Amino acid sequence: MYRKLNLILCASVLLFGQAQAQKKPKSTKPNILIIISDDHAFQTIGAYGSSLMPTPGIDRLAKEGAVMQNAFVSNSICGPSRACLLTGKHSAANGFKDNHSKFDASQDIFVRRLQGVGYQTAWIGKWHLETEPQGLDYWEILPGQGHYYNPDFLQMDGSSKRKEGYVTDLTTQAAEEWLETRNEDKPFCLIVGHKATHRVWMPDLQDLGGFDTTTFPLPSNFYDNYENRYAASQQDMSIEKTLRLGYDLKVMQDLDRGRENYTRMNAEQKRVYDRYYQTVEKDFISKNLSGKELTEWKYQRYMRDYLSTAASLDRNIGGLLNYMDKKGLTDNTLVIYLSDQGFYMGEHGWFDKRFMYEESLKTPMLVRYPGVIKPGTVHHEMVMNIDIAPTALELAGLTPSKEIQGKSMLPLFKGIEKKSRDAVYYHYFEFGEHNVIPHFGIRTDRYKLIRFYRGADKWELYDLEKDQKEMKNLIDAPGYAEIQATLVKKLKELTVRFKDVEAEMILDQEGI
């Protein structure tokens, strides 16, 4: 009997060993995790020197990886920025120029090429490209802008699923669920798209009032008079005139209340939410504010709601990084965090984005890749959101196509290459929204040249070394003629290189 048991045991061990030998090992190719938020200002992140709020989740990437101090976007607006990320091309080349366009997802996008070499690809959360995703093994996306509370998620089978809860938590949860069910024998590329911190800044219930005891100092140029800057004087994105009491700041409910966002809340969510904002409203009414006092009250409310909304974003980024630790994924995964663009936190008296001025043009970008990027690295080289596609392709062993206009950041991460581009190119196409006039231009390490058109044929030139706040337009100023000529020549060169026909034609008409 004992002999039979031993034989059975030996046979079982042998069979188990054969099964293990036949089982494919888990992929050793590097994974890619890209987290992209919406309208998240670099000025609010600790790793960028901000003291406005604690950001331990995002700052962890800085401590364990690198901060890109000079990361820029090609077009500071939601959908087009995502198109630039996917294609590695400027808006003029990828065709998705403004939020009224429709993205051609059949074009060469990096996730499709990753699929071709065995990567599982997924996009979860905000998509905002007005077309059905392609090049993805899995997707679960918010329709349009999505909602903060009890949002719908579009499914691959064409259905829509409403989920109870707060959108930032739900997006992270869906990302982790996909990671749980993926094929572990394959590397993955996961893009997590967060709705936060997009207008109308509705915080998670647990974060309501988190900054109510803080009085935020006004930016030094909060009361900008826009002297010699015509386009800036024409905008409709000021905290004073554009922010709406009901829609944005959640007081005076009879005016509006974030409408569809508020009405989606369940009874318990409304109870907690109302209790907080009714107290805010009561205090506001009692003050009977007007003039500068009203404007500055609106600024404080804006900051408090924005940062409270950002608190959940940071918490969820930290939570996803912790999940990666628990699953043993950290060491073999390139993580990139960025926003689709920068945002104004009262600079020039504004909220929103669009303009080529620094707060909108620059985006937070933090990168971690253990064993390659030295922890605590700070890169000052100029990089762009169009650089992510070629970086992912090179990481997967692929050669970026000649059509890609960005450049891989891997040599920079590895310390092989220290020289970056000598100028970044920008073009904002959308006309009418917030009355921001379309414009294109270049930024070098010291100067910025902008050409406004369609509504204003104006040029602007800034010396960023002497004028960090971009308050003094130096176009045709004495002493800058040579610099101006050099920048104009460089601008023309880049319009041609990046096949921006519209911009090239405008310069041609001026004889440039």
Domains of the chain by start residue, with CATH: 31-201+306-421 (3.40.720.10), 206-217+232-302 (no CATH), 428-509 (3.30.1120.10)
Provide the β-strand partners of residue 425. Answer: 442
The pLDDT of residue 257: 58
| CA neighbor of 33 nearest in space, from 195, 186, 187 | 187
- Token pair 């998240």 in the structure block, residue: 40
Give the alpha-carbon dihedral of 359, 362, 364, 366, to 10 degrees.
Answer: -150
Among candidate residues 183, 152, 341, the one with its CA nearest the CA of residue 264:
152
The 10s digit of each residue's pLDDT in 35-55 is 999 999 999 999 999 999 999
CA-CA distances (angstroms) from residue 54 to 129, 205, 211? Answer: 32, 18, 11
pLDDT digits (tens, 9 = 90+) for 389-441: 999 999 999 999 999 999 999 999 999 876 789 999 999 999 989 999 999 99
Question: What stretches in the chain show pLDDT beneath 50?
Answer: 1-25, 255
What pLDDT shows up at residue 19?
41
- pLDDT value of residue 101: 84
Do residues 334 and 341 lie in contact, with contact meaning Cβ atoms separated by under 8 Å?
A: no
Give the list of residues 6+ apart from residue 500 with CB closer than 8 angstroms, or none: 90, 92, 93, 425, 427, 440, 494
**Tokens encoding 440:** 């294109």
Q: Which residues pair with 459 in a beta bridge?
A: 451
Cα separation, 94 vs 133, whole angstroms: 15
Please give the model's pTM, rounded to 2 decimal places: 0.94
Residue 1: its pLDDT value, please? 43
The per-residue pLDDT for 209 is 97
Neighbours of 161 (CB within 10 A): 11
- CA–CA dist 431, 97 (Å, integer): 11
Q: How far apart are CA 300 and CA 198, in angstroms?
A: 17
